[in-house]
């Protein structure tokens, strides 16, 4: 009898355990803003890239050491003349609508990135002449000229593959109902509230997907994000404030993951599109004066407790393409004033400073305002919602746009799209034929030493013209509950969900 009661009790426990095991696991991620459109051809924001990483696989990815690794592609081969790249695709892959991923689908996605009138991927793939289908699982990318950054570009949005069927059915509404070949499939999006994804049961790497659902929650205030993490309302938050590092490290229930970003924080100057024709747009001396008014070390200490890395280039000091010949110039208010006098401008110089809403950018703007005032500038801070700031910048409605760039593994990805004449994210309209030629030549050469020499020459031009005043390089700071296991932070800032487990 006792044995019988024990068996019943054991059966009940096993049944309960089975129910617990089958309970849905949900990873809730608090984000610093709401992403732009979830269309790989049209997206241009860092937060959008974070969301893409959960549902839109690429041909290639990177590892934590920045080496290129297979994802939807298995391998690539570059011809001797550098003008043909043959890519072998992974077999047995399906899009989230059940359609097969094959060479025709890869060709379709790449051509859409290249030809869609509003695509932001055009400049990234501008060297591509056409894409050929070699066999059902092989494509050949034929280039107009050798293009060294190509495979690196395919580790990001240019390499994201979309379901041809869904694209054709949705048309320009594809970003509202995106269908890719990633681990999670899109369920719903409510602007400024949540974006919901659920596990894709036919994902090619489904054995490494252990969480059933992911919900992205825009929580703009970093204090609110952290409070939600500490209370258990969310499981992970991105863009932790540097001033909150000690608090998180002291909490036994939380883990902080960090890496030095590939990108930068900078001030984009509106050179060609400034409707007011202010002094910044008219004179490189005025832009140089503004640069010299800034103490980057002090800025880092005041706003970030010294946690970030001061910088003056489009890559960080740890990057192999960092130009040591151009160190950060120390603050020199006297020289800044002299340059303004040479430029013949009346001080104080009024300047519109546009920036997205947020505790850190607003603090940075206030410090810059104070520093610049001593040299003769009157920075008028204009804070807008994140999406609004991008629209204003694209429309040319700014004089300075304070904005970060999350960065790419190849230096071309941090420079060409912002500095080449008429490049899609060249919001300030900067144009210098000599700089254009150097960027174009650097794309054609694969030898790192030769490429670095070209970028060194370009750095000299950009430091004189000052179309972007580079300020610092952030540490990517991601905090999460200890119940989440297996998370690693990569320097590209993305949140990779494959392999994660959540108690």
3-state secondary structure of 170: helix
* Whether residue 430 is found in the same domain as residue 297: yes
Is 143 inside any structural domain?
yes
Residue 389 near residue 233 (C-beta atoms within 8 A): no
**What does pTM read for this prediction?**
0.87
Close Cβ partners of 385 (under 8 Å, ≥ 6 residues apart): 356, 357
* 3-class secondary-structure state, position 233: coil
- Residue 2 maps to a domain: no
Closest by alpha carbon to 47, among 60, 56, 38?
38
**174 belongs to a structural domain:** no
Q: Domain boundary at 165, 198, 226, which?
A: 165
Which pLDDT value is given to residue 386?
A: 87
Instruction: Judge if 101 and 135 occupy the same domain.
Output: yes
Do 384 and 322 belong to one domain?
yes
pLDDT at 336: 98
Q: Tell me how far apart the alpha carbons of residues 177 and 279 are, in angstroms, rounded to a whole number.
A: 45
Token pair of 6 as six digits = 């024990």
The first and second tokens of residue 502, run together, are: 């959540």
434 and 309 co-located in one domain: yes
Listed in sequence order, the DSSP H helices in 250-295 are 279-282, 284-292
* 198 domain residue, yes or no: yes
CATH at residue 236: 3.40.190.10
Same domain, 230 and 298: no
- CA triple 182-206-201, angle to 5 deg: 75
Residue 429 to residue 439: CA distance in whole angstroms:
16
> Does 18 map to a domain?
no
DSSP code string of 330-348: PP-HHHHHHHHHHHTPPSS
Same structural domain, 294 and 443 = yes
CATH value at residue 340:
3.10.105.10
Question: Residue 58 gets which letter from DSSP?
Answer: B
d(CA 418, CA 424): 7
138 domain-assigned: yes
Which of 375, 373, 289 minimizes the C-alpha distance to 339? 289
Which position has the token pair 């590939």? 262
Read off φ and ψ for residue 93, nearest 5 degrees. -95, 140
Element (H, E) at 246: helix 245-249
Q: Are residues 329 and 442 in the same domain?
A: yes
User: How far out from the chain centre does Cα 302 lie?
Assistant: 25
Tell me the pLDDT of the chain (503 aa) as tens digits. Answer: 343 443 444 444 444 444 444 589 999 999 999 999 999 999 999 999 999 999 999 999 999 889 999 999 999 999 999 999 999 999 999 999 999 999 999 999 999 999 999 999 998 999 999 999 999 999 999 999 999 999 999 999 999 999 999 999 999 999 999 999 999 999 999 999 999 999 999 999 999 999 999 999 999 999 999 999 999 999 999 999 999 999 999 999 999 999 999 999 999 999 998 988 999 999 999 999 999 999 999 999 999 999 999 999 999 999 999 999 999 999 999 999 999 999 999 999 999 999 999 899 999 999 999 999 999 999 999 999 988 998 999 899 999 999 999 999 999 999 999 999 999 899 999 999 999 999 999 999 999 999 999 999 999 999 999 999 999 999 999 999 999 999 999 999 999 999 999 98
Report d(CA 309, CA 259) in Å as an integer.
Answer: 12
Count of structural domains within the chain: 3
Residue 91 contacts residue 137 (beta carbons within 8 Å): yes
420 within some domain: yes
276 and 400 co-located in one domain: yes
List the domain range (segments joined by +) for residue 98: 57-165
Q: Is residue 21 part of a domain?
A: no
Query: In terms of domains, do 238 and 331 share one?
Result: no
Is the same domain home to 461 and 488?
no
Q: Where are the beta strands (DSSP E) in 172-219?
A: 184-190, 194-199, 213-218
Residues 460 and 489 in one domain: no
Does 190 share its domain with 290? no
Q: What pLDDT is recorded for position 3?
A: 39
The residue behind tokens 């030549």 is 441
């Amino acid at each position: 009898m006792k044995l019988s009661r024990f068996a019943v009790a054991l059966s009940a426990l096993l049944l309960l355990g089975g129910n617990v095991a089958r309970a849905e696991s949900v990873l809730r991620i608090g984000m610093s803003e709401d992403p732009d459109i979830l269309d790989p051809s049209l997206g241009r924001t860092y937060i959008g890239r974070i969301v893409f990483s959960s549902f839109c696989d690429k041909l290639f990815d990177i590892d934590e050491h920045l080496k290129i690794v297979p994802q939807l592609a298995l391998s690539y081969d570059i011809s001797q003349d550098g003008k043909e790249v043959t890519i072998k695709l992974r077999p047995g892959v399906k899009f989230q609508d059940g359609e097969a991923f094959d060479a025709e689908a890869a060709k379709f996605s790449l051509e859409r990135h290249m030809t869609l009138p509003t695509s932001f991927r055009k400049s990234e793939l501008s060297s591509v002449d056409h894409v050929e289908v070699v066999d059902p699982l092989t494509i050949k990318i034929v280039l107009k000229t050798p293009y060294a950054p190509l495979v690196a570009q395919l580790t990001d949005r240019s390499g994201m593959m979309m379901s041809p069927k869904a694209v054709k059915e949705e048309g320009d509404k594809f970003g509202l109902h995106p269908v890719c070949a990633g681990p999670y499939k899109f369920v719903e999006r409510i602007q400024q509230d949540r974006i919901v994804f659920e596990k894709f049961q036919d994902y090619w790497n489904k054995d490494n997907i252990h969480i059933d659902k992911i919900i992205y929650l825009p929580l703009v205030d970093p204090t609110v994000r952290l409070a939600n993490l500490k209370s258990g309302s969310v499981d992970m938050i991105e863009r932790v404030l540097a001033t909150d590092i000690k608090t998180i490290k002291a909490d036994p229930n939380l883990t902080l993951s960090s890496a030095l970003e590939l990108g930068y924080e900078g001030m984009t100057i509106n050179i060609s599109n400034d409707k007011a024709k202010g002094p910044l747009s008219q004179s490189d001396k005025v832009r140089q004066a503004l640069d010299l008014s800034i103490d980057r070390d002090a800025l880092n200490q005041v706003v970030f407790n010294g946690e970030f890395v001061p910088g003056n280039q489009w890559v960080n000091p740890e990057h192999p393409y960092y130009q040591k010949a151009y160190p950060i110039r120390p603050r020199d208010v006297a020289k800044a004033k002299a340059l303004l006098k040479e430029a013949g401008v009346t001080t104080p110089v009024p300047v519109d400073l546009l920036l997205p809403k947020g505790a850190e950018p607003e603090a940075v703007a206030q410090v810059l305002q104070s520093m610049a005032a001593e040299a003769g500038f009157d920075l008028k801070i204009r804070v807008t919602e994140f999406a609004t700031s991008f629209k204003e910048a694209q429309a040319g409605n700014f004089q300075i746009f304070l904005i970060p760039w999350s960065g790419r593994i190849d230096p071309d990805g941090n420079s060409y799209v912002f500095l080449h004449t008429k490049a899609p994210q060249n919001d300030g309209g900067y144009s210098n034929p000599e700089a254009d030629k150097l960027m174009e030549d650097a794309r054609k050469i694969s030898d790192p030493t030769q490429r670095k020499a070209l970028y060194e020459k370009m750095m000299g031009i950009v430091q004189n013209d000052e179309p972007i005043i580079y300020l610092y390089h952030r540490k990517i700071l991601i905090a999460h509950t200890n119940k989440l296991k297996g998370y690693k932070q990569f320097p590209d800032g993305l949140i990779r969900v494959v392999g994660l487990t959540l108690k």
